[in-house]
Amino acid sequence: MGAPSDRAPSDRAPGDTALGDGQMGDRAMLAALDAEIAPGGDAAAQDTAFPPLPEDRFLDRERSWLAFNERVLELAEDPATPLLERANFLSIFASNLDEFFMVRVAGLKRRIATGVATRSLTGRPPGEVLEDIWSVAREQLARQATCYQREVNPLLAEQGIHLLRWPDLAEHEQTTLFSLFRKRIFPVLTPLAVDPAHPFPYISGLSLNLAVVVRNPATGHRHFARVKVPPLLSRFLEVSPRRFVPVEDVIAAHLEELFPGMVVLAHHVFRVTRNEDLEVEEDDTENLIQALEKELLRRRFGPPVRLEVEESIDSEVLDLLVRELKIRREEVIAVPGPLDLTGLHSIAGIDRPELKYPKFVAGTHRDLAEVESASAPDIFAALRTRDVLLHHPYDSFSTSVQAFLEQAAADPDVLAIKQTLYRTSGDSPIVDALIDAAESGKQVLVLVEIKARFDEHANIKWARKLEESGCHVVYGLVGLKTHCKLSLVVRQEGEDLRRYAHVGTGNYHPKTARVYEDLGLLTADPDVGADLSDLFNRLSGYSRREHYRRLLVAPRSLREGLVSRIGREIEHHRAGRPAWVRFKSNSIVDEAVIDALYRASQAGVPVDIWVRGICALRPGVPGLSENVRVRSVLGRFLEHSRVYAFAAGGEAEVWLGSADLMHRNLDRRIEVLVRVTDPAHRSTLTRLLAAGTSDTTESWHLDSEGHWRRHATDEDGQPLRRVQEMLIEARRKRRGTSS
C-alpha cells in the first residue's frame, strides 16, 4: 500500500493535518458524535448541544514528545534517583533523542524539501516547528551534559566508579591501553584520507568518528583524514577495576601509529545522525522481504539530519564537515565531550546493587501457581476455571505467557497454535516453542511483522527460521503493520475442541517483559477464541470480517468504538448515572478521540488520562476541558500498557490491548483491544487507573499550555507514593517475601 510509505511511520507526518486513511473527516466524526449524544439523538440539535470547538485546542505533537524526553532527563537529574539509575536515564534520554532525529526530524526535513509539509495541528508552519525542535533539543542536550559532568560523573567517582579521559589516567594505565590498542584495536582501524584522489568517505549513522588533521613534514602540507571508531568495541574500556575511558580517547592517543611519518596536529570527535526511515511501496512489491532487505541496505545511506561535535572542534574542520556532509550550520550541535552518552547503559549495568533500585524478582501469578507440588502449573486447567489477568513485570512473563506457549508446544492434544510476533528477543524461547510445535506436527501459523522499526533485520531472520521449521509464516495485510499481541491455541479435549488465548499490550519479548509494564489476558472464553480465529483468518487469508464479539480491531472499529463509548458516558451523566472516562496510553494524538473527550468534559464527565509520552490534548481549559486531568508516570519500569475504561452507568466497561491513540495505530495498523469481563479484573484495572491519576501519587501533571510539572511531594513536603513501588510492595506482601 502506498500511503504508509509517504508518511513517517512513528505517526503521521509532522505538520500534516490531514486525517489518516480510512478515518472520517474531523467535522464528519464530530457531527456524528454530536448527533449521538445530543438530546434525542437529533443531528440537527448538535449546534445547541455544544459550542464549536476552538481552533487552538491541540498541543504541538513534536513539543510534547520533547517534553516526554525532558521528563526522562529529570529522572537523571533527580538526586533521589539511585546513582547508576541516573546514569541509565542519561543513556535512555540520549537513545530516545537519536531515534527522534532519525525518524521525526528526518521525516519533517524530507517533507519540507519536497514541498508536501503542511501546518501542524497548532497552525504553525513546518519550518517554525523544525526551528523549535532544534532550540529545545540544544537546551536539553546542554542539561544532559551538565548533569553528567557536574553531578553523575563526580558522584560515580565518589563511589569508586571512574569515567576518565585519557590525560586523567595513570602512566601504567596508559601503558596497559597501548598494549590493548596494538592487539585489539589497531588491526580493525581504517584511516581514510581526504584529498583529490580520495573523496570524502561515507559516514554511517550514529557512528563515532575522529576527524584528524595531519601535516606532511617533507612538504609542510596539511591533510584531513577520518578514522571510524569500530562499533563492536566497548563504548567505555575498563583499564583497571572500575576505571573506564572512552574508546575514542584510546584511539586518539595513538594516532601516530595510524599515520607514521606524519605529524598529527589535531583530532576531533564527531557523530552524524541520518534519516533511518523506511519507504517500501507494498502495492508494487511482489516479495515484501526482498524489498525490505533492499530498503534496509539503502537506509544506511540516508541523508544526514544532525551533526554532533565536541565544543573544542576547530572551525576549519567543522567547516569541512558541514560542507562535505551537506548539512546546515543550524543542524550542528556542539556539546562538551564525550559524545554519545547512550554508552552509559553499560556503566549502569555494573554490579553495585546499592546504587540501583532495590532488586525485584517477579513471581508466578497466584492463579497459575502450583501450591501443592514443585511441578509446572497446568495453565490450561487454570484457564478452564477462570480468566487470568497478568500485569508484567510484577507477574512473571516466563511462568505465564512463555509457559503457556511452551506447554502448548509440548502438549500432544494441542492441534494448532496461531501467533503474532512484532518484536522478540535474540534468543527467543517463544520462537523456540513455535518451532518445537511445528516439528512435532502441529499446525503453526506465525504472523511476523517484518516492518517493525529497527527490528527489521531480526524479524526477517526469525521469519526464515520459522519457515524452515515448517511453520506457516505470513506478513499480514498490505499497507498495514500488524501490531496486535495475540496467541491462540486450539486443543482437542474429548470430543470437543477448546480454544485458549492470550491478548496483551506488550511484545512477546521475555527480556523487555522484565522492565516494561504491560498487561495481558489469558482466557479460555469461547467468544475470545472465536474472535481470534476470525481475526487470524483475516490476517492470513481473505476474510473481510470487521465486527467481533469481545474485540475492537483497528483500522475499522477501534476508533469508532472508543468515540461511541465516550458519547455514552455523556448520556449516562445527563441521566444521573455514574459517568467517567479513564484512559492509559503511551500517546494520545488522534483528533477525533480528543474532540470526543472535549465534548465529554463540556458535558461534565470527569476524564482522567494517564499518558507516558505524547499528549496533544489541552487539559484544564475553561469551557473546553476543565474536567480533564492528564498525568504521566515514569520510573524504573517503562509504562507501556493501554487501558480504556468507562463508568458505563455503574458497571465499568474496561478494554485493554495494543493500541495507542495515534493515527498510525488507528488507521495504519492491525490493533486489538479486548473487553475485560471478569468483575474482579475490571475492579483491579479501574483501581490501577485511579492510582496513576490520583493527586496522592507521584506523577507529572500537564497544564493547558503544554507544560509538565512534577508532583513528587505533598503539601507538607513529604514524598508521594509511587505507583510502581506500590505494585511491587503488593506483590511482595502477596508472596510473603521481602525481596
DSSP letters of 444-494?
A: EEEEE-TTSTT-HHHHHHHHHHHHHTT-EEE--STT-EE--EEEEEEEEET
Query: Whole-angstrom Cα distance, residue 174 to residue 179?
Result: 9
| Helix axis angle, 679-693 to 723-735, nearest 10° | 140
Q: What is the DSSP letter of 570?
A: H
Query: Whole-angstrom Cα distance, residue 47 to residue 44?
Result: 7
The dihedral through the CA atoms of 466, 468, 470, 476 has a sign that is positive
Query: Whole-angstrom Cα distance, residue 672 to residue 538?
Result: 13
Q: What is the DSSP letter of 21?
A: T
Q: Which three cell numbers stand for residue 522?
A: 489469558
Give yes or no for a contact between 701 and 711, defined as CB atoms under 8 angstroms apart.
yes
Residue 132, CA distances (Å) to 61, 105, 113, 117, 322 in order: 12, 11, 18, 16, 21
Give yes or no for a contact between 283 and 479, defined as CB atoms under 8 angstroms apart.
yes
Query: Whole-angstrom Cα distance, residue 480 to residue 492?
Result: 33
Query: Whole-angstrom Cα distance, residue 242 to residue 351?
Result: 10
**477 Cβ partners below 8 Å, 6+ apart?**
538, 539, 670
Give yes or no for a contact between 396 and 362, defined as CB atoms under 8 angstroms apart.
yes
First to last CA, the chain: 51
Give yes or no for a contact between 452 and 423, defined as CB atoms under 8 angstroms apart.
yes
List, in sequence order, every beta strand (DSSP E) within 195-329: 208-215, 222-228, 236-240, 243-246, 263-274, 304-310
* Residue found under cell 584495536: 185
> Which sequence positions are flagged as catalytic?
483
